[in-house]
């Protein structure tokens, strides 16, 4: 059993020095960098865009796990691919044609993620599981860090874990939102491959990134 990977969300980082924060995360043994892109339309918050991501690219060789909470999303996929995203995750509600948007992401040789909000059923992603690389289960309603974990989202992890294992697919399950040292164990036991965490990694143990990543990793 591979150990769970950690994708720290830089939404909780110091936005005045994101480059050095990303370097610190790499030194602290993060596996990926989770970048939350918000447009103030799909979610009630605004963060960063492709220009900033392209400037951050030179600070690490870790994969950029880019979570697009923007709508409409299709026409911006190229911008994020060109900016240096490695995984481009979109919400099915943000595109008129999910298959076309999946193809668009693949056309730039990027990994494809589909994100399910707490209210969005696994039915939205089951038909395209064979086409994608990652399912991002939202365990909070998207838009802000520091929210409370919604435990029943673990049921979706279990459904997807069963389906992926049954069909021997290479899709990874990532969970995002309110992850802390207690519920990380529940998520790992439910079958996630990647944990996203912002607040817990940046705030716990006086912001000891390495220690917090290690605690999450060992579950």
Contact between 117 and ligand DX5 per CB under 6 A: no
Q: What value does the CA radius of gyration of the chain take, rounded to a whole number of Å? A: 16
Q: Could you say which residues in the range 34-63 bind ligand DX5, by CB under 6 A? A: 34, 36
Helix (H, G, I), strand (E, B) or coil at 99: helix
Q: Taking CA 62 as the corner, what is the angle to CA 178 and CA 23, rounded to the nearest 5 degrees?
A: 80
Q: Does 195 bind ligand DX5 (CB under 6 A)?
A: no
Q: Which of 133, 177, 187, 216 binds ligand DX5 (CB under 6 A)?
A: 177
CB of 45 to Zn ion, least distance (A): 11
User: Which residue in the set 54, 122, 147, 208 belongs to the binding site for ligand DX5 (CB under 6 A)?
Assistant: 147
Binding flag, residue 199, ligand DX5 (CB under 6 A): yes
Binding of ligand DX5 by 67 (CB under 6 A): yes
Q: How far apart are CA 126 and CA 106, in angstroms?
A: 18
Which range, of 9-17, 46-54, 70-78, 92-100, touches ligand DX5 by CB under 6 A? 9-17
Is the CB of residue 201 less than 8 Å from the CB of residue 180? Answer: no
- Of the candidate spans 46-54, 159-167, 191-199, 205-213, the one that interacts with ligand DX5 by CB under 6 A turns out to be 191-199
In the list Zn ion, ligand DX5, none, the entry touching 147 (Cβ below 5 to 8 angstroms by class) is: ligand DX5
Sign of CA pseudo-dihedral 208, 9, 66, 126: positive
Question: 36, 65, 133, 193: which is the annotated catalytic residue?
Answer: 36
Q: Per rule CB under 5 A, is residue 176 in the interface with Zn ion?
A: yes
CB 45 within 8 Å of CB 38: yes
- Smallest Cα–Cα separation from 69: which of 129, 120, 10, 117? 117
Q: What is d(CA 125, CA 10) in angstroms, rounded to the nearest whole number?
A: 26
Out of 77, 192, 196, 213, the residue judged to bind ligand DX5 by CB under 6 A: 196
**Whether 176 is catalytic:** yes
Q: Is 178 left (phi over 0), alpha (psi -120 to 50) or beta?
A: left
From candidates 36, 65, 104, 174, binder to Zn ion by CB under 5 A: 36
Cα–Cα distance measured from residue 3 to residue 148, given in angstroms and rounded to the nearest whole number: 25
- Could you give the residue numbers annotated as active site? 36, 176
Residues engaged in binding ligand DX5 (CB under 6 A): 9, 11-12, 34, 36, 67, 140, 142-143, 145-147, 176-179, 196-200
């Amino acid at each position: 059993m591979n150990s769970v990977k950690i994708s720290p969300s830089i939404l909780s980082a110091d936005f005045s020095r994101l480059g050095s924060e990303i370097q610190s995360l790499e030194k602290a043994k993060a596996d990926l960098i989770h970048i939350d892109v918000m447009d103030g339309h799909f979610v009630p918050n605004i963060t960063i865009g492709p220009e900033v991501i392209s400037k951050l690219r030179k600070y690490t060789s870790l994969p950029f796990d880019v979570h697009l909470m923007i709508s409409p999303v299709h026409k911006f996929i190229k911008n994020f691919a060109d900016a240096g995203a490695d995984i481009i995750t979109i919400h099915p509600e943000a595109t008129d044609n999910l298959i076309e948007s999946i193809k668009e992401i693949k056309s730039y040789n990027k990994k494809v993620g589909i994100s399910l909000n707490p209210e969005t059923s696994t039915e939205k992603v089951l038909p395209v599981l064979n086409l994608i690389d990652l399912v991002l289960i939202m365990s909070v309603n998207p838009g802000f860090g520091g929210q409370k974990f919604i435990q029943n989202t673990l049921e979706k992890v279990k459904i997807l874990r069963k389906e992926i294992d049954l069909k021997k697919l290479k899709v990874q399950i990532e969970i995002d939102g309110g992850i802390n040292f207690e519920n990380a164990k529940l998520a790992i036991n439910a079958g996630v491959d990647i944990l996203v965490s912002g607040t817990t990694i940046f705030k716990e143990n006086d912001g000891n990134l390495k220690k917090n990543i290690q605690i999450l990793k060992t579950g």
